[in-house]
């Protein structure tokens, strides 16, 4: 997992994002006001409890990062003093969901949020950033994008969905009956009758001119940058704050939980949370899922060390400990083994941890300032000078 996070961090820095650290625990109303009262997260999935403070504040373990970043941004007065900001964050989030493969109650998100950019180039650049990460990890993914309109055009789409829902009342599931008035966009998310949901109205038919133009430019720009994508006019997000561009990225090998990244624009959120009218957009990477998808595709990097250093006795250990240090200084991953076992057992340990090389030092090697370099993959062995060991191992690994 840290491999995915390390790469995401590197790419975020290349895209000029700065890290923000956000609390694990927040007042519950932060999520009610932003993630949305009618979202599954707020309705069913938060770990919330009453604090023992005098006011008996209800707090919740964060179910996502966006609300805390928006809160911090407004509290620091950035919406007024320096509205254009780019943040990334990384860490655990908590949702009370039914655990299954790729769906956990504590999972890890790497998220980014951009404030103060309303232009479509910003949306495109974030999608390109995700593409950069997936290419870097060599993970094949599918991009699905949509526009769910803005505060001006969404009411008409909402009304069309309600009318459609009412006219199909008998065919809809119980969840969808609840959604019709409370959160009609989620009718499109029905997992029970997927076929029926396909016949529902599409958001693209209701976009105002400005939203249509914005979405057109997003597509133009990501096409120009070589990002392959599909427009899915039924894509809606489970969180309530989105406007205009919404997107999800899926990967194979995860079964039902195939979405590895989700995000979109949230132009009204900063204002709704008490700040100025500043546009925003971001995404969250499901780090666990991305790591699982890489594993399933055989693309997860090996955890095995490059070398195991073996000393045959206490005198040789004085040399071995220095050799291990020198190898690590050459950026090699090295485990120094215990000297209190026989060579056979130590070689067994070296194989068990998957070390490519065993670096063996006995009294004879110590006297002559050499090491025995045993290639455990090719079952060969040769002698090299102590000073040459890092170079010899690095060259063999590169070859």
Question: What is the C-alpha radius of gyration for the chain, rounded to an integer number of angstroms?
Answer: 27
Nearer to ligand HAM, 34 or 319 (CB): 34
Instruction: For strands 18-19 and 85-94, give the pairing.
Output: parallel
CB 64 within 8 A of CB 35: yes
Give me the least distance between CB of 129 and ligand HAM, in Å please.
13
Give me the least distance between CB of 249 and ligand HAM, in Å please.
8
Nearer to ligand HAM, 109 or 203 (CB): 109
Bridge partners of 371?
384
Which residues lie closer than 8 Å to 159 by C-beta, 6 or more apart?
Answer: none
Give me the least distance between CB of 27 and ligand HAM, in Å please.
18
Nearer to ligand HAM, 63 or 305 (CB): 63
Residues that bind ligand HAM (CB under 6 A): 64-66, 95, 97, 102-104, 107, 109, 111, 113, 238-239, 259-264, 282-284, 286, 288-289
Angle subtended by helix axes 389-398 and 314-329, to nearest 10: 50
Give me the least distance between CB of 59 and ligand HAM, in Å please.
19
Nearer to ligand HAM, 115 or 206 (CB): 115
Q: How far is CA 23 from CA 62, 166, 336, in A?
A: 8, 42, 38
Of 394, 358, 363, the closest CA to residue 378 belongs to 358
Give me the least distance between CB of 131 and ligand HAM, in Å please.
15
Which residues lie closer than 8 Å to 368 by C-beta, 6 or more apart?
Answer: none
CA 70 to chain CA centroid, nearest Å? 19
Nearer to ligand HAM, 235 or 361 (CB): 235
Nearer to ligand HAM, 103 or 328 (CB): 103
Give me the least distance between CB of 112 and ligand HAM, in Å please.
7
Query: What secondary structure does DSSP assign to 50-112, as a single string?
Result: E-SSTT--EEEE-S-SHHHHHHHHHHTTHHHH---EEEEEEEEEE-----BTTB-SEEEEEEE
The closest residue (CB) to ligand HAM is 286
Nearer to ligand HAM, 58 or 259 (CB): 259
CB 72 within 8 A of CB 280: no
Give me the least distance between CB of 208 and ligand HAM, in Å please.
22
């Amino acid at each position: 997992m840290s491999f995915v996070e390390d790469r995401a961090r590197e790419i975020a820095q290349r895209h000029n994002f700065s890290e923000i650290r956000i609390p694990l625990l927040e007042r519950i109303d932060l999520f009610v006001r932003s993630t949305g009262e009618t979202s599954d997260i707020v309705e069913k999935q938060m770990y919330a409890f009453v604090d023992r403070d005098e006011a008996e504040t209800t707090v919740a373990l964060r179910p996502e990062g966006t609300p805390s970043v928006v809160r911090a941004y407004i509290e620091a007065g950035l919406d007024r003093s320096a509205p254009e900001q780019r943040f990334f964050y990384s860490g655990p989030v908590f949702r009370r969901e039914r655990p299954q493969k790729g769906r956990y109650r504590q999972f890890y998100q790497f998220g980014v949020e951009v404030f103060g950019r309303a232009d479509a180039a910003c949306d495109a650049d974030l999608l390109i950033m995700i593409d950069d990460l997936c290419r870097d990890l060599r993970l094949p993914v599918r991009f699905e994008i949509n526009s769910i309109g803005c505060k001006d055009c969404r009411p008409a789409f909402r009304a069309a969905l309600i009318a459609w829902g009412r006219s199909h009342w008998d065919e809809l599931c119980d969840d969808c009956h609840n959604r019709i008035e409370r959160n009609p966009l989620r009718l499109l998310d029905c997992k029970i009758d997927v076929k029926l949901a396909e016949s529902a109205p599409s958001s693209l038919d209701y976009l105002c001119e400005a939203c249509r133009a914005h979405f057109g430019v997003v597509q133009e720009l990501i096409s120009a940058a070589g990002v392959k994508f599909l427009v899915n006019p039924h894509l809606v997000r489970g969180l309530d704050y989105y406007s205009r561009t919404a997107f999800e990225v899926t990967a194979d090998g995860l079964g039902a939980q195939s979405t590895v990244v989700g995000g979109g624009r949230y132009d009204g959120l900063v204002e709704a949370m008490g700040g100025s009218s500043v546009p925003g957009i971001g995404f969250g990477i499901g780090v666990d899922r991305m790591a699982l998808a890489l594993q399933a595709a055989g693309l997860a990097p090996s955890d095995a060390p490059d070398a195991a250093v073996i000393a045959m006795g206490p005198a040789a250990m004085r040399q071995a400990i220095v050799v291990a240090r020198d190898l690590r200084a050459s950026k090699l991953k090295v485990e120094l083994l215990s000297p209190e076992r026989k060579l056979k057992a130590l070689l067994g340990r070296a194989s068990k941890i998957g070390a490519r090389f065993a670096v063996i030092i006995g009294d004879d090697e110590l006297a002559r300032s050499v090491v025995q370099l045993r290639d455990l993959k090719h079952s060969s062995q040769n002698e090299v000078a102590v000073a040459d060991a890092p170079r010899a191992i690095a060259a063999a690994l590169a070859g």
